[in-house]
Amino acid sequence: MAKQEKMVDAITSMEEDFAKWYTDVVKKAELASYSSVRGCMVVRPYATALWENIHDDLDRRFKELGHENVMMPMFIPESLLQKEKDHVEGFAPEVAWVTHGGEEELTERLCVRPTSETLFCDHYREIIHSYRDLPKLYNQWCSVVRWEKTTRPFLRTMEFFWQEGHTMHETREEAIAETERMLNVYADFCEQDLAIPVVKGQKTEKEQFAGAQATYTIEALMHDGKALQSGTSHFFGDGFARAFDIKYTARDNSFQYPFQTSWGMSSRIIGAIIMTHGDNNGLVLPPAVAPIQVVIVPIATHKPGVAEKAEELYNRLKAFCRVKLDTTDNSPGWKFAEYEMKGVPLRLEIGPKDIEQNQCVLVRRDNREKTFVSLDTLETAIPEQLQKVRDGLYQSALERREAMTYTAHTLDEIKDIAANKPGFIKAMWCGDRACEDALKEQAGITSRCIPFEQEEIADVCPVCGKKAAKMLYWGKAY
Amino acid sequence: MAKQEKMVDAITSMEEDFAKWYTDVVKKAELASYSSVRGCMVVRPYATALWENIHDDLDRRFKELGHENVMMPMFIPESLLQKEKDHVEGFAPEVAWVTHGGEEELTERLCVRPTSETLFCDHYREIIHSYRDLPKLYNQWCSVVRWEKTTRPFLRTMEFFWQEGHTMHETREEAIAETERMLNVYADFCEQDLAIPVVKGQKTEKEQFAGAQATYTIEALMHDGKALQSGTSHFFGDGFARAFDIKYTARDNSFQYPFQTSWGMSSRIIGAIIMTHGDNNGLVLPPAVAPIQVVIVPIATHKPGVAEKAEELYNRLKAFCRVKLDTTDNSPGWKFAEYEMKGVPLRLEIGPKDIEQNQCVLVRRDNREKTFVSLDTLETAIPEQLQKVRDGLYQSALERREAMTYTAHTLDEIKDIAANKPGFIKAMWCGDRACEDALKEQAGITSRCIPFEQEEIADVCPVCGKKAAKMLYWGKAY
């Protein structure tokens, strides 16, 4: 009974309080708990399974392109962090410092890695000697730590989980191509597998990664009109290679510095999934990464044959999808609500009447559409319905993003939209940092990216009136 | 040429200097590098792939038994670590302390987890309320840190990789059964998949885990006669539950403390694989976890049809094993040496004469046995040969262990064996800590375990002459 009451207890609606809705979903869908460690979360089994599916999908994509995984130390000696000037300036203020090992005080402080460029470079110096050693296409799965003041589960936590790719190349062109290639991997993963439409583009210099020459990004729009940076890919030129003295013998026998990239996607993406697809009944998961793709709910289990048929279907479905059979004695209505909260993409109901007619009911999580399906065709019908859920989610998210993307021509227009209409704002920009700072100060928005797909909205920068160089996406961001 | 010279450079033989042989193998097989962080290693792609296969195999075993993965914070606040008295005494001297976040000094120090009992208990207090919430069968894959003075790749490093299972149960009996069950999972994994024979038993109180009531262990014997603890499983009773105030409503409505276990296997097991199966040509990997199970080496590739046939075989083999085709222009002899160094279980040679006769040569890594196999039967012949490699490795290791296991009846006999014959020593024990300490001091050996399979060697303890309680395995250990 206690459990039933807990479920009946509805979550805050997103229209009423989006931030509260978010934390309610995180809690009720049993994704994460707060821990006794300030700013760190406990990732519970359901979200861990989700992250494992994200891991497996991305890892397969990386390996197909020739990347290899490695495991680097979690600590960076202070002197190593300081080797690249811009990098240390960007990260030193937000790292955790280890100063003691057991009883003894360390002669040099170690920081817990906030990102691992420096460690990879330290290793690359040791293993890269000749053009034959290039490219090096390494990746690692780990957690990193950044000392954040305010935190929210998945979106911003002191420790978070991610993968970080670090590659070294013979030429500038090859490294830039890798930077673009990996951004495209992220974009395709988001759009195809997570059903999250993204805008691909480049960060302005102000927003780029510490130490990078160029940062590419994919930006997604959440239900509340805020943007979420969902994956980034950086081109470093040979800056780190020079700072770390990584040299190789080139084809012409000269010594050269290799060109470097890094790229990462983190457990933040779970926040993006929640805030892109979730609704007032809870979580909605894209089928490709859902820990449970289909839940079987038997109806009137006391009637002869129902339990057996449900079990038989479970064993059949196991062969081609991630399926759960709920045989607890909770009521069907309670189970419906529970698996809706958990965002299971497809529900299969099977009762005595269905069995008589050799059919079952499939109910989509995204729009609650019901389909009666012959039991003879489940092997094709279920993958079809899962695909429809993915397509439905993508389409809704895309339409919402389009409805929430505004074009502005003047500073007043920008301020008005920023104050009253949550979403993306498309506007021209002269390229000056001063105008970017002005929009932050006057309209409370930041530049999200210079999209690869450019449009010519106007000739001049709406802030300073000078000639416009680029069209930008602006917005409020997580 | 540089590369060839590097390979021709033989490794130190294990008879000459076992420790040097070990580090040579780690380096030449490209398993790990030293890093700029004292005591931490860079796990290179080949060893990372090996660890991923170990992960996947164990993870599947855990999940089949109903365990779920979670991801806990990497930090433990000092006050949380101190909640269980024995536990903190055991671990506090060897933890890394974070004292600063960014510029600010923390009000409470955080240690980097050396193990996560305290974090799991902190979470369990929050989520366990009723007997319906039990059992909780959680596991996590992560790295942990212990501040070690002297380190060696895989065997003892400041940071190491592992899985740690943490479970909670209604009854003492159920928790003890889980402790045994998980030890058996480790033993089966070691014996079947890693081809490493192990002795299963219980640790003496002196050697047990800090805070545990009982520690079970599997002990393997390395090539040099030293023991390596390869996996442990702990029963905690309700000690942590009491310290952390984890209470649940039992079936009779009373409040009860649940019973707890934990169990772990770490990247040390890679050290065990190296030192159990390796030889003077390098690494030898058990097929179940080898990143490359079969390497195809084409012979006389300039002859028509060879490269095409090798490619064709590669595409066929991909369907049922992890295969690599080496098409570089290194000589076959150089390739043989390289993949022997890397411990690839099976080599497939294919040349013009073989093609004429519709056959190929399979060469086992463990004993270099050659078999001519019809190209029509590769789908059965390769799995058969891989199984033979596993069986051969297991048999050799078992015979070596038996030849290096000695039975001792008196203290003089123990001292003599300990001084002159590396290996396990079986001897009786009265059960007193004093006799255990005496053997450490006088013979330089420690108790490895009280084996589950007991033998009655004598009536009395060889140290004190009092009535013997148990037969123990003793030895020198990594």
Contact B97 A93 (CB under 8 A): no
Q: Is the dihedral of CA B315, B317, B319, B325 positive or negative?
A: negative
Q: Which residue of A has its CA nearest to B44?
A: A70
Contact A70 B43 (CB under 8 A): yes
> Structure tokens of A185?
């991997």
Give the span between the Cα atoms of B91 and B94, in whole angstroms: 6
Cis peptide before B135 (omega within 30 of 0): yes
B contacts of A99 (beta carbons < 8 Å): 97-100
Q: Which residue of A has its CA nearest to B33?
A: A123
A contacts of B136 (beta carbons < 8 Å): none
Contact B101 A98 (CB under 8 A): no
Q: Which of A52, A59, A74, A116 to mutate to test the interface with B (most CBs of B within 10 A)?
A: A74
In angstroms, the separation between the Cα of residue A56 and the nearest Cα of chain B is 11
Residue A403, judged by CB atoms within 10 A of its CB (0-12, 13-18, 19+), counts as exposed
Q: Which of A37, A88, A122, A139 to mutate to test the interface with B (most CBs of B within 10 A)?
A: A37
Nearest to B37 among A71, A73, A102 (CB): A73
Residue count of chain A:
478
pLDDT value of position A3: 43
A contacts of B161 (beta carbons < 8 Å): 71
CB A126 within 8 A of CB A56: no
pLDDT value of position B141: 98
Say what the ipTM of the complex is. 0.95
Cis peptide before A332 (omega within 30 of 0): no
The answer to whether residue B105 neighbours chain A at the CB level (below 8 Å) is no
pLDDT value of position B10: 83
Q: Which of B53, B59, B71, B123 to mutate to test the interface with A (most CBs of A within 10 A)?
A: B71
Residue count of chain B:
478
Q: Give me the half-sphere count of Cα atoms (radius 13 Å) on the Cβ side of residue A49.
A: 17
Nearest to B69 among A52, A95, A122 (CB): A52
B contacts of A41 (beta carbons < 8 Å): 73
CB A446 within 8 A of CB A475: yes
B contacts of A88 (beta carbons < 8 Å): none
Residuewise pLDDT in 10s, chain B (478 residues)? 344 444 446 899 999 999 999 999 999 999 999 988 888 999 999 999 999 999 999 999 999 999 999 999 999 999 999 998 888 888 888 999 999 999 899 999 999 999 999 999 999 999 999 999 999 999 999 999 999 888 899 999 999 999 999 999 999 999 999 999 999 999 999 999 999 999 999 999 999 998 999 999 999 999 999 999 999 999 999 999 999 999 999 999 999 999 999 999 999 999 999 999 999 999 999 999 999 999 999 999 999 999 999 999 999 999 999 999 999 999 999 999 999 999 999 999 999 999 999 999 999 999 999 999 999 999 999 999 999 999 999 999 999 999 999 999 999 999 999 999 999 999 999 999 999 999 999 999 999 999 999 999 999 999 999 999 999 999 999 9
pLDDT value of position A91: 87
C-alpha distance across the termini of chain B, in Å: 38
Contact A126 B44 (CB under 8 A): no
Compute CA A307 distance to the chain's CA centroid, rounded to the nearest angstrom.
39
**With pLDDT > 70 as the criterion, what percentage of chain A qualifies?**
98
| Integer angstrom CA distances of residue B221 from A274, B25, B226 | 50, 18, 6
Strand ranges (DSSP E) for B102-207?
A: 104-112, 136-145, 159-169, 199-202
Cβ contacts from A onto B, under 8 A = 155
A contacts of B40 (beta carbons < 8 Å): 73-75
Convert the pLDDT of each residue in A193-245 to its tens digit: 999 999 999 999 999 998 999 999 999 999 999 999 999 999 999 999 999 99
A contacts of B4 (beta carbons < 8 Å): none
> Structure tokens of A475?
């917005």
Map residue B53 onto helix, strand or coil: helix
Convert the pLDDT of each residue in B346-398 to its tens digit: 999 999 999 999 999 999 999 999 999 999 999 999 999 999 999 999 999 99
> Which residues 128-167 of B have a C-beta within 8 angstroms of A?
130, 132, 138, 142-143, 145, 147, 159, 161
Contact B74 A49 (CB under 8 A): no
Compute CA A353 distance to the chain's CA centroid, rounded to the nearest angstrom.
43
pLDDT value of position A6: 46
List helix spans (H) across B93-219.
117-127, 172-188
Cis peptide before A352 (omega within 30 of 0): no
Give the span between the Cα atoms of A322 and A290, in whole angstroms: 8
Give the span between the Cα atoms of A380 and A309, in whole angstroms: 19
| Integer angstrom CA distances of residue A366 from A25, A51, A369, B401 | 16, 21, 8, 60
From B116, B76, B77, B111, select the one nearest B97 (Cα to Cα): B111
Give the span between the Cα atoms of B403 and B384, in whole angstroms: 28
B contacts of A126 (beta carbons < 8 Å): 33
Contact B74 A44 (CB under 8 A): no
Contact A36 B122 (CB under 8 A): yes
List, for chain A, all residue ranges whose pLDDT scores fall below the cut of 50. 1-8
> Structure tokens of A266?
């983190």
Q: Which residue of B has its CA nearest to A72?
A: B42
pLDDT value of position B224: 97
Give the span between the Cα atoms of A287 and A264, in whole angstroms: 23
Question: Tokens 């030449």, residue?
Answer: B28
In angstroms, the separation between the Cα of residue A457 and the nearest Cα of chain B is 43
Nearest to B72 among A42, A51, A110 (CB): A42
Give the span between the Cα atoms of A475 and A414, in whole angstroms: 10
